[in-house]
């Protein structure tokens, strides 16, 4: 199934084909979770802080659907 992924901050820096504005179109297996997507992208899970799917916050256990738009953000620090 095809999904769109946009990686923010340094997450997309080393990913071939990722456009910081448009993101990347990926073909992943049916029934994949966000966690499996992160593993597929070879991003250490601890480097992902916020996950959104189609504009709503999501957990990494969320099962993706064809056409979903996934955004991954680095953890936010500050004080």
CATH level 3 topology of 2-73? Ubiquitin-like (UB roll) (3.10.20)
The predicted model scores a pTM of 0.91
Domain ranges of the chain: 2-73
Give SS3 for 28. coil
In the 3-class helix/strand/coil scheme, how is 44-61 assigned residue by residue?
CHHHCCEEEECCEECCCC
Query: Residues 12-49: pLDDT tens digits?
Result: 887 888 888 889 999 999 999 999 999 999 999 999 99
């Amino acid at each position: 199934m095809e999904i769109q992924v946009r990686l923010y901050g340094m997450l997309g820096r080393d990913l071939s084909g990722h456009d910081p504005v448009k993101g990347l179109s990926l073909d992943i297996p049916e029934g994949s979770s966000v966690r499996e997507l992160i593993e597929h992208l070879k991003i250490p899970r601890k480097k992902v802080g916020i996950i959104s799917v189609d504009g709503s916050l999501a957990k990494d256990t969320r099962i993706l659907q064809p056409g979903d738009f996934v955004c991954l953000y680095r953890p936010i620090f500050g004080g």
